[in-house]
Structure 1
Amino acid sequence: MPINSDQLRTLIVQPVLAALNLPAPDVAENLIMGTAAHESHLGDYIKQVGGGPAMGIYQMEPATLNDCYVNYLDYSSRAALKTVVDGFLAAQPAGPDGSPDKAAQLASNMAYATAMCRIRYYRAPGALPSDPNDLSGLAAYWKQYYNTPLGAGTVEQFIADYNRYLG
């Protein structure tokens, strides 16, 4: 059963975006909501269907999570942003060393997964669409920078899932 989209938006996405304080929160909000609608049908599943590595309502792969840290958040100039992102981590699930298991928390911690989804989009080289209600623009941005041109998803599927789950 899908997550209630109004509750996801108001209780998770909006507070996380406010805490991150990154540009274009209104556009990012609709893009993130659309990503959840398409990638997991708002939480119908939290582990990639077919045995792949993607996790959570945004279906982020651990390799993508790691890349966001190694090639972006771990730079000292971004220490404040990393502190905010890591502030969403819960103590459990933890890894073998006792620190939070970030990859596992993509599935178990919606606030952290939302923060990482926003970081993924924030790092994208292209500017976000200017209109938060430009569904075609949001879908094209998702395809280019989240699903990637080689990914199986399509702009049309994103739009259909957005309308189905968020319309």
Structure 2
Amino acid sequence: MPINPDQLRTLVVRPVLAALDLSAPDVAENLIMGTAAHESHLGDFIKQVGGGPAMGIYQMEPATLNDCYENYLDYSSRAALKAKVDAYLAVSPALASSTGSGDQPDKASQLATNLAYATAMCRIRYYRAPAAMPSDPNDINALAAYWKQYYNTPLGAGTPEQFVADYQRYIG
């Protein structure tokens, strides 16, 4: 059963975007909601269908997550942004009780288990794109084209038409 889109938007996406304080919050909000609607049908599945590595409601691959850190967040000039993102990482109770240190589980697993962290990483993925996001937050066709180019990639299996259809079906 999908996540309620109004609750996802108001309880997770909007507060995370506000905390990250990056540009274009209205466009980013709709783009991220559309990404969740298309990639996982708002959480109908959190592990990639067919056995692939993508995880979470945004179906981000661990390699993409690692790239976001290695080639963007790990630069010292972005330490404050990295700290904001990493603040969403959850401490694993199992690790904390076994080691006494409150160690964090690997970040890739949190794409599936931690909505706020997954949302922050989805935003970072889009923030790194070389082109500006569409200017109109309500132009779903433009959001779909942007998703295709910078999230799914031109070689990915998804289409802008599927993104639009899933946005309309799951978000309205």
Please say if residues 106 and 113 of structure 1, whose CA atoms lie closer than 8 Å, have aligned partners that are also in contact. Answer: yes
Please say if residues 35 and 142 of structure 1, whose CA atoms lie closer than 8 Å, have aligned partners that are also in contact. Answer: yes
The RMSD of aligned alpha carbons is 1.3
Please say if residues 60 and 117 of structure 1, whose CA atoms lie closer than 8 Å, have aligned partners that are also in contact. Answer: yes
Letter in 1 for 2:152: N
- TM-score, structure 2 length as denominator? 0.94
Please say if residues 14 and 29 of structure 2, whose CA atoms lie closer than 8 Å, have aligned partners that are also in contact. Answer: yes
Task: Trace 1:1-167 onto structure 2 (pairs within 5 A).
Answer: 1-92=1-92, 98-167=103-172
Query: Cα distance 1:72–1:106, how it changes in 2: closer, same or farther (>3 A)?
Result: same
- TM-score, structure 1 length as denominator? 0.97
Give, in whole Å, the separation in 1 of the partners of 2:103 and 2:112: 18
Choose 116-125 or 98-107, whichever is displaced more. Answer: 98-107
- Number of aligned residue pairs: give it: 166
Deviation at 1:93, TM superposition (A): 7.4
Unmatched 5+ stretches in structure 1: none
The structure having more radius of gyration, on CA atoms, is: 2
Give, in whole Å, the separation in 2 of the partners of 1:23 and 1:17: 9
Deviation at 1:101, TM superposition (A): 1.4
Unmatched 5+ stretches in structure 2: 96-101
SS across alignment from 2:33: helix
Please say if residues 13 and 114 of structure 1, whose CA atoms lie closer than 8 Å, have aligned partners that are also in contact. Answer: yes
Give, in whole Å, the separation in 1 of the partners of 2:93 and 2:37: 25
Letter in 2 for 1:158: F
Please say if residues 93 and 104 of structure 1, whose CA atoms lie closer than 8 Å, have aligned partners that are also in contact. Answer: no
SS across alignment from 1:77: helix
